[in-house]
Structure 1
């Protein structure tokens, strides 16, 4: 640092002398600031289906028609983060299975090698957990509340430790997936808030025991529904639930409204969450109809801007749910991939 200062001083003196003799001023070229990756805006993709898609022979193509790594295709469009779900004892079903600890670690290592950041999303189930279902893993089915609390800790600690041992420290970990009604039903239902709080805090403690710098996310759906979020996080506060970030889903499709009707509500809710609970916010799931490219593009641009507009940079980013999950393979209508194997132009919103 000291040498740099001396060199800079010498350069300034030479420039001053030159200016005096020639009467021609040379303006220094501005230098773009270097923004650390850890503070950059998150542009993410949940890619849990990707290994199975590749295993079944699905080819991901660039615009020139040449096969290319799907993660690289996403990175080329501005994606800098992957979100990976974890199931406890999943089946081998191509859609409803996989996402084991081992598969998750392999995907995280692969993403990190491309310079991508990592979020881990614990469902605490053997398959999908969401607002409609929060089924306990079969191996935990008959466990007591005390045992379930330990199960959450052990499973969380085990997976995050395995990631660390493989050289990947996720920046964020979700304790539960879309849990407006709780998780590990019925014991962890919001009808049993004190027990749900124990499970959430057990997951939090396990994450922090591996690495205290990892941020813990609590995730609720319908990010435009402020009443739902206030109800949930008021209760979480009353129960002393520990977390760092509020995660939101935003799917205009599932509430059968265009984004233009709900984007202002999303903004209002995010701003309220920051002010009311003093927590950062992140849209951890978003998606639009694959065959409405322009509308999905515009929705993504509006969502990204809404998050960026959260005061004091407390809106951390936006993640698309399974953009590469092309419909002929997955049956999912909210992917952002075309039937010809190429990325949808809607993803250019992340550039």
Structure 2
């Protein structure tokens, strides 16, 4: 969990989620989807129950919280364990080894899979604090290694004696800065690795089938993860799974600004280190914004599920049941009435791999700003505009690129307006996607990636305020005049800045992939539509998948369609213009429709 101490102060469930999001329906459940972990960290539950906090299902019937979670699709439970915690502090204490064994046994008996999270502290351990247990405070480094081994082995042995075998064991909790400070700080990675390896060895000695997880915060921050796991690898670190926390709320941004960066990092970690990955913590303000948290949870599950080769293991919500009247925690997914918010219905959704971005030839010149082999104010292929001669100084390339040496930067110590752009001519008419990696200080009057002069109205996307490289995109750019201008526009105050790198403009016009030419599906009708959109499949096609996207590329609905007239239920889509992608074996096409 991140920043908690700063905050402290069945069919029917599907039907009840109406109005809180579009449920993604699939025609079949794959074996990998069935083993995908949908988890909840419930460390507070035992003390909530002991202090007469009750839990109710959607119908208002009092039930065991574990049963409500199971009915919401949760199949895994995560429990933190502290060494010698306060036994009187409800919120910041308990979670002792004995209590964890009790709760783990109960969860196991109800059919849940288990993750045990060792903090190696007497209370919260996270990026801002990794305080040694009081009993270990005066120990030498050699004794600390023995402490880690003995404590880990002791808890797992107690679990084993109760018939509990955790599927995953976390060695440390959110440890980009290390653990057991000061000896285990990441500034001394050799010592940190020795401590982590002692935890690993203890897990394997007692519970050899358990997978050892190393867990960092900010799962969207690829640079942090590469730095940490490069160091861990260099120093001989032993682990099985890379764990991540992902809290857009604490990033002060909507999840849509960083979900692509999370997906990129998940894929990169699995590929770079050959390890499985898991989102060990996620959460949002589900009381204030249940729809948004529902959408975020679906997107996160899809991102993890989409990691190639089945290396994405699952997603755990941190303390969904810990509602505020007990904990003061803002990101629980329960109301003070004791009932789950509709955001929890996201775990009833079968995860599906996100549709990969359409690929094609990038038509831009010098998209990574490397062609000059130096920092410059005149990058090859790009044109600048500024509102005054002096303000051209705001536009330049410099070191610090997203994946290579250079990046484009807009910055000046006085207010400025500047644009850096390319006008590409000679383009085949059709549908294009524009995407780029960006950073921004925020605070500008306007800071946008844009596309215009392509035969339609200007399209743009605001850069999120973030120091982490984040990918943004514009999809469905309909070029009708053989050209398109793309660029970065800033209307900024003094010292506002933004960065741009690895810009792509490519055709996403989809044509049939049949071996022989054949008729395509009819245009969706009625168009405009109100509640149902009818699709007709081409002759010979027995089944297809229809996927509906917003014009910004957000997946909204996916459904299998059969021959003859098949209708998509679009009643919950807001009025507007959408794209529907119809795909079957050997055939793919994109059509547009209007929802009234």
- Distance in 2 between residues matched to 1:61 and 1:74, nearest whole Å: 11
Q: Structure 2 matches for 1:1-351, cutoff 5 A? A: 35=31, 40-92=35-87, 93-290=89-286, 291-351=288-348
TM-aligned CA deviation for residue 329 of structure 1: 1.1
> 3-state DSSP class of the match of 1:153?
helix
Deviation readout 1:17-40 (Å, 9 max, x if unpaired): xxxxxxxxxxxxxxx999599x70
- Distance in 2 between residues matched to 1:313 and 1:344, nearest whole Å: 30
Deviation readout 1:86-121 (Å, 9 max, x if unpaired): 000000210000001110000001101110000000
- Distance in 1 between residues matched to 2:207 and 2:244, nearest whole Å: 24
Match of 1:10 in 2: none
TM-aligned CA deviation for residue 322 of structure 1: 0.1
- Distance in 1 between residues matched to 2:29 and 2:107, nearest whole Å: 26
Q: Is the 8 A contact 2:32 2:310 kept in 1?
A: no
> 3-state DSSP class of the match of 2:258?
helix
User: When the two structures are superposed, what TM-score results if normalisation uses the length of structure 1?
Assistant: 0.89
- Distance in 2 between residues matched to 1:45 and 1:329, nearest whole Å: 17
- Distance in 1 between residues matched to 2:285 and 2:226, nearest whole Å: 29
TM-aligned CA deviation for residue 258 of structure 1: 0.5
TM-aligned CA deviation for residue 312 of structure 1: 1.0
In terms of fraction of residues, the more strand-rich structure is: 2
User: When the two structures are superposed, what TM-score results if normalisation uses the length of structure 2?
Assistant: 0.53
- Distance in 1 between residues matched to 2:244 and 2:127, nearest whole Å: 13
Q: Is the 8 A contact 2:278 2:313 kept in 1?
A: yes
- Distance in 1 between residues matched to 2:201 and 2:344, nearest whole Å: 36
What is the RMSD computed on CA atoms of the aligned residues? 1.3
- Distance in 1 between residues matched to 2:278 and 2:335, nearest whole Å: 27
- Distance in 2 between residues matched to 1:314 and 1:243, nearest whole Å: 14
- Distance in 1 between residues matched to 2:336 and 2:179, nearest whole Å: 36
Q: Is the 8 A contact 2:153 2:203 kept in 1?
A: yes
- Distance in 2 between residues matched to 1:147 and 1:325, nearest whole Å: 36
TM-aligned CA deviation for residue 62 of structure 1: 1.1
Match of 1:13 in 2: none
Deviation readout 1:238-294 (Å, 9 max, x if unpaired): 111000000000000111111000000000000000110000000000001031100
Length, aligned pairs only:
319
- Distance in 1 between residues matched to 2:279 and 2:138, nearest whole Å: 34
Structure 1 alignment gaps of length 5 or more: 1-31
- Distance in 2 between residues matched to 1:338 and 1:62, nearest whole Å: 11
Match of 1:14 in 2: none
Q: Residues 33, 327 of structure 1: CA spacing in aligned structure 2 closer, same or farther, 3 A cutoff?
A: closer
> 3-state DSSP class of the match of 1:198?
helix
TM-aligned CA deviation for residue 212 of structure 1: 1.3
TM-aligned CA deviation for residue 347 of structure 1: 0.4
Deviation readout 1:154-189 (Å, 9 max, x if unpaired): 000000000000000001000000000000000000
Q: Is the 8 A contact 2:115 2:170 kept in 1?
A: yes
- Distance in 2 between residues matched to 1:87 and 1:325, nearest whole Å: 18
TM-aligned CA deviation for residue 213 of structure 1: 1.0
Q: Which runs of 4+ in 1 moved over 2 A?
A: 32-37
Deviation readout 1:289-342 (Å, 9 max, x if unpaired): 031100000000000000111111110000000000001111000000012110
Deviation readout 1:136-158 (Å, 9 max, x if unpaired): 00000000000000000000000
- Distance in 2 between residues matched to 1:35 and 1:252, nearest whole Å: 30
TM-aligned CA deviation for residue 197 of structure 1: 0.5
